[in-house]
Chain A
Amino acid sequence: MTENNSEVKKGKFNGIVHGNERIGEKFYRLGFDVNGEGGSLLSGFKPGQFVQLQVSRAGIPPDKVIPSALSDVSQRDIILRRPFSFCNIEVRENSTLCEILYCVLGPSTLRMTTLSGGDTVSVIGPLGNGFWLPDGRKKVVLVAGGIGAAPLEFAGKYLTKNHSDIEVIVFAGAKTVNELPFEGKLDDISQNLGYSLAVFARYGIESKIATDDGSAGFKGTVLECFQQWYKQTDWETGEIVIYGCGPEAMLAKLSEIAGKEAIDCQVSMERRMACGIGVCQSCAVECKTPDSAKHENKLCCEDGPVFDSREVVFKI
């Protein structure tokens, strides 16, 4: 994984939807194929990179299936694209299959739920810089909060497929079981550690889930769950790198823990984006500079969304 993607060409392409499967109450998995030049550009997509998806022309679901909290919001017109990472890609001979794992939160994600086989979606990508593997790191710890699991699913696959000598473990947490974006009856899982999450188990990756209310897996936050594991693991600090994705407050704490333990840590940041391509300046992430008295703004879309956690001045 490279640290700098800015030389790679971006483009605007159409994808043909072939599936949009509901996962639990709030989550969906959208799959689409991109052919031709777009397919070949997206075949180099790295975990943590993202696309800008246009769904303003997708339909609105019928009133009776719109959650009441979103019924007013559903009337809003959409103009801007929305940023999404990929939770999986599969490169085929003439096309690239792209998958987005998304949470229904507002007008665009509500419209996305109505996409079905044969529909066309427009994407701009690949955008930003993904996670990277610093020299000498052989153990990767994925730490996901809620929908933050999306790019980390792809990171797990990418790492295990491209590096035979790398070990990966994932910690996925949420407030409660319904907010975990995975298939299966998670509340049945009694063991704290194992191969409980199928999307990771298929690449031989161990997973551990945590819920604040104890409705599935470890009772407590995903960070407490990680810390408990870290105390007794035989993985050496110097060979570990953490990839974190989730709410900013969680990433801030993760960064603090990693800092104290001197573990390498990368975080995927989220900002409201208008363009995603570096021209609107809306997505500023405050960063430290070598001159400790001065901070600078970097762009989440161009310089990130993945940053070294030591660099970021978190907003909490």
Chain B
Amino acid sequence: MANENEIDLSVNFCGINLSNPVFTASGTCGYSDELSDFMDINALGGFITKSITVKPRMGNPTPRIVETDSGMLNAIGLANIGLDAFIDQKLGALNDLCPIVFVNVAGESIEEYKQVCQELSYRREIAGFEVNISCPNVSRGGISFGTEPKVVEEIISEVKKVSGDKILMVKLSPSVTNICEIARAALEGGADALSLINTFTSMVIDIHSRRPVLANRTGGLSGPAIKPIAVYLVNKVYTEVTKETDVPILATGGVRNASDVVEFLLAGATAVGVGTWNFVEPDVTMKIIEGLKKYCAREGVNKIKELIGSLEAD
């Protein structure tokens, strides 16, 4: 068995060397140091902020969450402090961090995405943007930007123009007919990395009141319930779209331990995000990093990179 402390957990993400492949996912770890009572943000491979829009947003009415078996639905409605407050109050704490920092960007129009990216494009605190294309497109009656390949390509190419040298990562929605088409459209538009998956649109009904539990009627399903679907989609996009390129995949969906991370690496992910489980165990990412060392030591893996996309063929 190899020595745990000699194991190399580093991975290369768009040319940047990360100390390990573990990220915290957007909307589950605040804007910067909110979880610092529970974990050391500097021990992470990557950190992704809550979605930022130009203006502050109050979000949806409550109830905004409901628990289901092995998962939860959320309809937060992109509640956030807005771009100016983010720059004034939060950006400073992101300076000089070890993990690669992405700002998750949301909007109701292509212009809004561009404005957020443009204003942050020269900030040295961040390495890149994670573009959340699962937002409702107001000019098209609220259907999600992320469902139409043409729209995805347009949005990414427009954002690319104003993003300077920042890494552009596109976060894909799983609620689409063919995720590979959307992934290709994002790459056509100039994406440097892909992030998948966001939550699945779902509904829970209260059988006493005979109404949906969430005030928004529907919400996004996350947590362990979605993990097998996420593994499948990551593997599909990896084998059909990114394998022959140098575009890395950040995989997210239902991760709660090191074994889950290894599964995603085998499926083709370069890095793995933890979302919902931060709520349950806010120190989970620290435990996962330790768990990865133990897994590698047990299995005789010296460099975790070797696992990426190494799923055995039949």
Indicate if the CB atoms of A284 and B59 lie closer than 8 Å: yes
With beta carbons under 8 angstroms apart, the residue of A277, A281, A295 that contacts B282 is A277
Indicate if the CB atoms of A282 and B74 lie closer than 8 Å: yes
Cβ of A166 under 8 Å from chain B: no
Cβ of B63 under 8 Å from chain A: yes
Contact-residue bracket for chain A: 20 to 34
Q: How far is the CB of B94 from chain A (nearest CB, A)?
A: 15
Cβ of A80 under 8 Å from chain B: yes
Q: How far is the CB of B139 from chain A (nearest CB, A)?
A: 26
Indicate the member of A11, A271, A276, A279 with the most B CB atoms within 10 Å: A279
Prevailing SS type, chain A contact patch: loop
Interfacial chain A residues near B278, Cβ < 8 Å: 275, 279
User: Given the known A-B contacts A11-B37, A297-B79, are A272 and B64 also in contact in the complex, defined by CB atoms under 8 Å?
Assistant: yes
Interfacial chain A residues near B67, Cβ < 8 Å: 78-80
Cβ of A12 under 8 Å from chain B: yes
Interfacial chain A residues near B279, Cβ < 8 Å: 80-81, 274-277, 279-280
Q: A124-B282, A280-B28, A281-B79 are in contact. List 11 more A-B contacts (CB 8 A).
A: A9-B37, A11-B37, A12-B38, A76-B69, A79-B70, A79-B223, A275-B28, A280-B74, A280-B279, A282-B62, A283-B62
Indicate the member of B30, B58, B66, B280 with the most A CB atoms within 10 Å: B280
User: Given the known A-B contacts A81-B280, A281-B79, are A272 and B29 also in contact in the complex, defined by CB atoms under 8 Å?
Assistant: no
CA distance A284 to B28 in the complex (A): 15
Indicate if the CB atoms of B28 and A282 lie closer than 8 Å: no
Interfacial chain B residues near A268, Cβ < 8 Å: none
Cβ of A288 under 8 Å from chain B: no
Interfacial chain A residues near B38, Cβ < 8 Å: 10-12, 277
Beta-carbon nearest neighbor of B213 in chain A: A272
Beta-carbon nearest neighbor of A283 in chain B: B62
Indicate if the CB atoms of A54 and B76 lie closer than 8 Å: no
Cβ of A135 under 8 Å from chain B: no
CA distance A272 to B38 in the complex (A): 22
Interface residues of B (CB under 8 A from A): 27-30, 34-35, 37-38, 50, 58-59, 61-67, 69-72, 74, 76, 79, 223-224, 276, 278-283
Cβ of A204 under 8 Å from chain B: no
Number of inter-chain CB pairs below 8 Å = 95
Cβ of A256 under 8 Å from chain B: no
User: Given the known A-B contacts A277-B34, A278-B30, A279-B30, are A272 and B63 also in contact in the complex, defined by CB atoms under 8 Å?
Assistant: yes
Beta-carbon nearest neighbor of A278 in chain B: B34
Indicate if the CB atoms of A272 and B282 lie closer than 8 Å: no
| A:64-88 near B, CB below 8 Å | 76-81
Cβ of A296 under 8 Å from chain B: yes
Interfacial chain B residues near A275, Cβ < 8 Å: 28, 278-279, 282
Interfacial chain A residues near B50, Cβ < 8 Å: 281
CA distance A274 to B278 in the complex (A): 10
Cβ of A315 under 8 Å from chain B: yes
CA distance A78 to B72 in the complex (A): 10
Q: How far is the CB of A68 from chain B (nearest CB, A)?
A: 14
Indicate if the CB atoms of A274 and B72 lie closer than 8 Å: yes
Q: How far is the CB of A305 from chain B (nearest CB, A)?
A: 13
CA distance A271 to B27 in the complex (A): 18
Indicate if the CB atoms of B65 and A282 lie closer than 8 Å: yes
Q: How far is the CB of B53 from chain A (nearest CB, A)?
A: 13
7 closest Cβ contacts across the A-B interface? A275-B279, A282-B65, A279-B30, A10-B37, A274-B279, A77-B69, A282-B64
With beta carbons under 8 angstroms apart, the residue of A124, A274, A278, A297 that contacts B65 is A274
Interfacial chain A residues near B79, Cβ < 8 Å: 281, 284, 297
Indicate if the CB atoms of A277 and B28 lie closer than 8 Å: no
Interfacial chain A residues near B280, Cβ < 8 Å: 54, 79-81
Indicate if the CB atoms of A279 and B63 lie closer than 8 Å: no
CA distance A3 to B296 in the complex (A): 48
Indicate if the CB atoms of A271 and B62 lie closer than 8 Å: yes
Interfacial chain B residues near A9, Cβ < 8 Å: 37
CA distance A276 to B28 in the complex (A): 12
Beta-carbon nearest neighbor of B208 in chain A: A69
Beta-carbon nearest neighbor of B74 in chain A: A282
Beta-carbon nearest neighbor of B38 in chain A: A12
Interfacial chain A residues near B74, Cβ < 8 Å: 274, 280, 282
Beta-carbon nearest neighbor of B24 in chain A: A279
Interfacial chain B residues near A124, Cβ < 8 Å: 282
Beta-carbon nearest neighbor of B76 in chain A: A281
Indicate if the CB atoms of B283 and A12 lie closer than 8 Å: yes
Q: How far is the CB of B223 from chain A (nearest CB, A)?
A: 6
Q: How far is the CB of B145 from chain A (nearest CB, A)?
A: 21
Can you spell out 13 A-B residue pairs with CB atoms less than 8 angstroms apart? Answer: A54-B280, A77-B69, A79-B223, A81-B280, A272-B66, A273-B65, A275-B28, A275-B278, A279-B30, A279-B35, A280-B28, A282-B74, A315-B62
Indicate if the CB atoms of B282 and A12 lie closer than 8 Å: yes
Indicate the member of A10, A81, A280 with the most B CB atoms within 10 Å: A280
Beta-carbon nearest neighbor of A9 in chain B: B37
CA distance A296 to B37 in the complex (A): 27
CA distance A283 to B64 in the complex (A): 7
Indicate if the CB atoms of A280 and B27 lie closer than 8 Å: yes
Indicate if the CB atoms of A281 and B35 lie closer than 8 Å: no
With beta carbons under 8 angstroms apart, the residue of A276, A279, A282 that contacts B29 is A279
